[in-house]
Every structure is written in C-alpha cells, then in structure tokens.
Amino acid sequence: MSFAYQSLLDRVHAEVAARPVRGKVADYIPALARIDASRFGMALALVDGRSFVAGDATEPFSIQSMSKLFTLVMAQRLYGDELWQRVGREPSGTAFNSLVQLEHEDGFPRNPFINAGALAVTNALVSRYAQPERAILDFMAGLSGRKKIFIDEEVARSEEQHGDRNRAIAYFLKAHNRFENDVAEVTRTYFRQCAIPLTCQELAQAALFLANNGCALDGTRILSPAQTRQTLAVMLTCGLYDGVGDFVFRVGLPAKSGVGGGIIAILPGVGSLCVWSPPLDARGNSAKAIEALELIAGELAVVPGVL
C-alpha cells in the first residue's frame, strides 16, 4: 500500500498556514519586500516519477541563495575534487554575509553556501564559461523541466544596487589571491543567478537527482555517487547558515534555503521537497517552511523504508 503523500502535504499545509505569521519578508532587497507574506507552497517530487503539490506550489518566487546549490553542482562537474581547493566544507557559525572569518582564515571561504563561498564558486564558473549566466540558466532549465528560465530584471537591479557588501567580500577574496576574474563580472553573475524565479514544483524537480544517487529520472548522471554524497553532506551541515544546527535537530534532512523564503530538502532514496513561505526568521530562513518540513519529516520517519 503506497503512502498517502498528497494527504500529508494537504494536512501540513493547512496546519502551518493557520499558524500566526512569524518573522518578516526580506527587505534589504527592495524588490523582495513587496512579496505577499501569506504565500505558502509545497511540492514533493519522488524518484519513482510521481509528484505532489499543495498551496502556492506553482507560483514563481526568487530563488536567491537556493541558486548556490546548483552553481555548486555545476562547479563540481567542471572541477571535481579541485573545487575544494577554492572553498571549504565546514560550517561557518556566522551570518551568511559575514566578513569576520575571512579576515582570520586568510580569505578562504568556509563553505560554498555562505556568500563568500558562493562568490568563489561563481568565480570558478566565470573562469570556465564564456557566458556563465547563460550556462547557469541552461543547466537549471534542464534540471527543472522548464523550457526557458529567465532572470527577473527588477530583482537583479535591486541586488546590484544593494550589493556593496558582496562586492566587499569579492574584493577581499581577490586581495588574498582567491579570485582570478574581474570582481564586477563575477558579482554581476552572482546577483543575476540569485534573481531567477522558479516555482516550488520546478525546484523540487530540479533537485531530484540528489535523492536519486546523482541521476536524473531519465538516467542522465548529474553527479557521481561520491559527489552526491558530498553535496548532501554540505547541505546537511551548512545549508541554513548559522541556523543549521537547530534545523538539523528539528528536521534532520539535507537542505538549502534562500532569503526569497524557499527551502529545498532532500529525502535520499525517496525524493526532494521544496517549501516556500516568504517571512524569514532572525537567521534568514523561512520560519513556516521550517515548521512544515519538521512536521513532514516527523511523519515520514515512522513509515518503514522511507527514512
């Protein structure tokens, strides 16, 4: 007898949607500040090809730092183990846009999901692609099943206009000889990769290969089994910044968040789950998405063979 995934999503969505709103929508990027705080969607894609949605799962939203997961995968495909000479794989324990550790650690980013590490990864892509932005869009289009992916120009302009701290991080990396490309080119690519709008349904589909030992459903290998395991490990330990310890304690799944309010979580061998709710907690992670994932993980854990 198959597990009633749709019923689970519907029940969790109804319960969490009824709870009071906690946190606030990201406002340091003005284009994101106007997002309706009541939006709430969930999508689950399974390795057997089935998919389930609830709420605003087909409403596009700005993926923001969720893009770091996909650029990391692209860089792993290009560089293999050499990538880890550019960026570490340790939890940071500090805010995602902190400069403090770079000062003490010779400009070596702790992991690819803090902004310093993500900029190092984007720099690596700029070194290999003549048109890195197009390469990122094409890669994500292929994974998500969406024929054409675009960049929200309003969000991108907003990112650019309020991106001085990220430029400072990039210049710090360059000052420590960890950046071989022009800072303006790399930061522009980074700002624009964060400004891609996708839906929960598309993001769950895009990340599904991580639940399937590195293979897309059509059999295309995206990452090797070893690289898949490494990616899931970094997600588990670093995917929610300085809030990752509490998240792992409550939810226990590899995940990656973004200040647009989305979180991708992976159920290895089962599927991928994307939850979106714009209001963020003090650490920049979606408060209701975490609540929903905690409930879902708690129910799935009692099903034999699921977790």
Least confident of 17-21, 85-89, 237-241, 299-303: 299-303
Residue 306 has pLDDT above 50, yes or no: no
Q: What is the DSSP letter of 20?
A: P
DSSP secondary structure string for all residues of 48-100:
TS-EEEEESTTS-EE-GGGHHHHHHHHHHHHHGGGGGGTS--S---S-TT--H
Question: Residue 219 class from Cβ within 10 Å (0-12 exposed, 13-18 middle, 19+ buried)?
Answer: exposed
pLDDT for the residue 220:
96
- 65 assigned to a ligand binding site: yes
Q: Compute the mean pLDDT over every residue in the chain, rounded to the nearest whole number.
A: 93
- 213 assigned to a ligand binding site: no
DSSP secondary structure string for all residues of 111-132:
-TTSHHHHHHHHHHHHHH-SSH
Tens-digit pLDDT profile for residues 247-272: 999 999 999 999 999 999 999 999 99
- 25 assigned to a ligand binding site: no
- 28 assigned to a ligand binding site: no
What angle, 0 to 180 degrees and rounded to 10, lies between the N-to-C axes of helices 183-194 and 115-128? Answer: 110
Q: Is 183 a catalytic residue?
A: no
pLDDT for the residue 263:
98
Q: Which candidate in 73, 98, 158, 190 is catalytic?
A: 190
Give the mean pLDDT of 232-254. Answer: 94
For residues 239 and 30, the model is more confident at 239
Q: Which candidate in 73, 234, 259, 270 is catalytic?
A: 259
Question: What is the phi/psi pair of residue 196, to 5°?
Answer: -80, 130
Tens-digit pLDDT profile for residues 100-144: 778 878 889 999 999 999 999 999 999 999 999 999 999 999 999
Q: Which of 262, 200, 260, 277 is nearest to 39 (CA)?
A: 277
- 98 assigned to a ligand binding site: no
Q: Which candidate in 65, 144, 272, 277 is catalytic?
A: 65
pLDDT for the residue 2:
63
Q: Is 241 a catalytic residue?
A: yes
Could you tell me the two tokens for 273?
């789950």
Q: How confident is the model at residue 305 (pLDDT cuts 50, 70, 90)?
A: very low
Asked whether the whole model's pTM tops 0.75, one would answer yes
Q: Which candidate in 25, 67, 68, 183 is catalytic?
A: 68
- 212 assigned to a ligand binding site: no
Q: Is 68 a catalytic residue?
A: yes
- 79 assigned to a ligand binding site: no
Could you give the domains of the chain?
A: 5-301 (3.40.710.10)
Q: Is 28 a catalytic residue?
A: no
pLDDT for the residue 1:
43
Q: Is 190 a catalytic residue?
A: yes
Tens-digit pLDDT profile for residues 35-46: 999 999 999 999
